[in-house]
Chains A and B, each alone.
Chain A
């Protein structure tokens, strides 16, 4: 013990050192002792010049807690130094219940400032056992202490204090505001009952606080007490009453029976949405179902870009239900909106656009923002109105590629074969996305003439047009495209032959695959690989014995591809076709064969694969081990 005291003494001495590190070490170590001397040292350190030291001391005092710490800290409440005083208050609040007894003892301190600080701290600690003592302070000779006591009782929230608070309200005009606020925090039937009484006051400050308090602790029954204040000529009172009703409504999941004069509060409610006030937004949007009128619609349209995605969806649905008048309002608001809002408007209009709406939108098709023009093109397309074809054709000449692409796509949704040549022109655009959009539109057109034109394009002077043609024929997917695609297998350009084969693979429903079988001998390995995939995709795994000669292909990647196709076939009988690769010279084929034989569950291959466990290539050794594990378990 004496060693401990000795050590604490040393540390207290160190605390006086001008050297920061010495003081830091001392204050850290003092935190490990419970002795009063150590606590006193830590309290002393709260006055250190260095903030870091003060903070360590504060943390340690919170950890130690205890009466000594609290009593010493309370002494600081009378300090002239605001920093030390605040720090001591902060620590006492953190010490919490353990400090309450010491604090209560100071409620009778001669210094009214200390009494006030003590009451504030006790309020922040929220200890119920302090409530009767704090209630007593409602009779204090100093008004600041009395006000703090009322506030503290609100923080403590003990219903037993209500009587004292009511007496204080009746006896002392200066603390009525604090009493009302306290009742709003304490809540419960008794407090609410008094709050209703106070709503009859002539004092606007008290009334405002009362309304606010009822909004916090009120229930559905409270709404009727608030209704008359909605009619107040004092805007802040009326809006406070509306805000209180909103709170109660949200707390009760919207179950408010009374009719509310919402029109009077439309600016307040919609400003709430603009300010991203969650409660006002939720309340306002929920009320919209029963709250009609052109002004409301306009206000709603002005705030759409302030709401989140979920709310926006429900608004869009609501506007869809309103129908024509909503679209009229949107179009009226359109010129005033910024680009972000315009795009939201267009997305709404897209839900229920018809020829008439599309017609009205046309005046905005030259908007300065290309993103807006692009979205207009989509909306015009969704309208499906034939009179929009010409305006969309004009938009395909827009200076911005994205807008041209959107116009071509939109045309594809509803134009007919008389526009085919126009769409083919789009395939010459300098940008890929515009060419692809034009191709997409032609795919949707899909009549024989389109197929014939694409077939011609397979031999177009431009390679890009040839590529698009081969791709488009596959996407059209009609039986009529099979013949042109087969003919494309003789195309001089290998990429076109490959695209044609890939397209045939997508169509799949093909009887005679002879031209594809011939493609297995194509000079280009990429074509041969595609042909192999296409044939298996069309005919299924039963065709594999007929094309197994690709396992002898001169190109290692064709052989590799064929091994994988066999592995994916799921037919173990084909395992014998690829076992030979296990003894081969090419590691890549060995690995493919191991994987495929494992996939097929070929137990016959176990002895051959076992030999690979001593292979010099570690990847093969590891693959072999995995394969053996799998095959033996199978």
Chain B
């Protein structure tokens, strides 16, 4: 799995590519942890290029979400491929995560909230 990182309007954007399972999920968790240590608690995950996610990968996302909530931060997801979307629907994880159709929409949502 590859993770690329960028920042836009104070939101850290991690684009994840490949399979999201237990092993690769650990790298993602480390990456998020490193961001939170730098007090970056507004994090967006672009999952457009995640072509596979299993139960362990989902577990990692839930765990990341819990950590960010604990730090009073915000986590958003976007661009879920149809397979990933299917598994989110089955597990109803959409009730826990803020999911957007596109990265732009997600990043804009941070601006709307902070501007108001």
Contacts and interface: CB of A to CB of B under 8 A. Distances in A.
A506 B52 contact: yes
Given A314-B113, A384-B66, A478 B96 contact: no
B6 interface: no
Nearest to B57: A477
A567 B11 CA distance: 42
A365 B69 CA distance: 24
B36 interface: no
Nearest to A446: B55
A310 B109 CA distance: 10
B67 to A, nearest CB: 11
Given A446-B55, A475-B55, A477-B53, A350 B90 contact: no
Nearest to A475: B87
Contact of A444 (B21, B55, B116): B55
B65 to A, nearest CB: 9
A477 B57 CA distance: 10
B58 interface: yes
B33 interface: no
B91 A382 contact: no
Contacts of A286: 116
Given A445-B55, A476-B54, A285 B116 contact: yes
A477 B21 CA distance: 9
B113 A413 contact: no
B59 A382 contact: no
A475 B52 contact: no
B85 to A, nearest CB: 12
Interface in B90-108: 90-93, 95-96
A506 B83 contact: yes
Contacts of B62: 413, 444
Given A476-B55, A507-B52, A352 B69 contact: yes
A409 interface: yes
Contacts of A311: 116
B91 A409 contact: yes
Given A413-B96, A477-B55, A443 B83 contact: no
A413 B55 contact: no
Contact of B92 (A313, A440, A509): A440
A413 B93 contact: yes
Given A314-B116, A445-B55, A440 B95 contact: no
Contacts of B29: none
A548 B112 CA distance: 55
Contact of B95 (A382, A445, A475): A382
A380 to B, nearest CB: 11
B55 A478 contact: yes
Contacts of A437: 92
A581 interface: no
B52 A310 contact: no
B39 to A, nearest CB: 17
Contact of A409 (B21, B83, B95): B95
Query: Chain B interface secondary structure, helix, strand, loop or mixed?
Result: helix
Contacts, number: 80
A217 interface: no
A17 interface: no
Given A314-B112, A413-B62, A446-B59, A477 B52 contact: yes
B96 A382 contact: yes
B30 to A, nearest CB: 21
A406 interface: yes
B74 to A, nearest CB: 9
A509 B77 CA distance: 25
Given A314-B113, A350-B95, A384-B66, A443 B90 contact: yes
A441 interface: yes
A446 B56 contact: yes
A384 B67 CA distance: 12
A313 B55 contact: no
Nearest to B62: A413
Contacts of B93: 413
Given A384-B66, A446-B56, A477-B55, A440 B21 contact: no
B19 interface: yes
A41 interface: no
Interface centre among A409, A413, A443 (most CB of B within 10 A): A413
A477 B69 CA distance: 27
Given A350-B95, A413-B93, A506-B83, A310 B54 contact: no
Contact of A313 (B52, B54, B95, B113): B113
Nearest to B116: A314
Contacts of A506: 52, 83
Contacts of A444: 55, 58-59, 62, 91
Contacts of B54: 446, 475-478, 507
B92 A409 contact: yes
Contacts of A409: 91-92, 95
Nearest to B86: A475
Contacts of A317: 113, 116
A378 interface: yes
Interface string A361-394: 0000000000000000010011010000000000
Nearest to A316: B113
Given A310-B112, A313-B112, A384-B66, A406 B92 contact: yes
Interface string B38-70: 000000000000001111111100100010010
A436 interface: yes
A317 B95 CA distance: 17
> Which one of A378, A440, A477, A478 has the highest number of Cβ atoms from chain B below 10 Å of its Cβ?
A477
B116 A412 contact: no
Contacts of B52: 477, 506-509
Contacts of B53: 477
A212 to B, nearest CB: 29
Nearest to A451: B55
B55 A378 contact: no
Given A443-B91, A478-B55, 9 more contacts: A286-B116, A310-B112, A313-B109, A413-B91, A444-B59, A477-B21, A477-B52, A477-B53, A509-B19
A-B residue pairs, 5 tightest by C-beta: A477-B54, A446-B55, A314-B116, A409-B92, A440-B91
Interface of A: 285-286, 310-311, 313-314, 317, 350, 352, 378, 381-382, 384, 406, 409-410, 412-413, 436-437, 439-441, 443-446, 475-478, 506-509
22 contacts: A310-B112, A313-B113, A317-B116, A350-B95, A382-B95, A382-B96, A409-B91, A409-B95, A410-B92, A412-B92, A413-B91, A440-B91, A440-B92, A443-B91, A444-B55, A444-B58, A444-B62, A446-B54, A446-B55, A446-B56, A477-B55, A478-B55
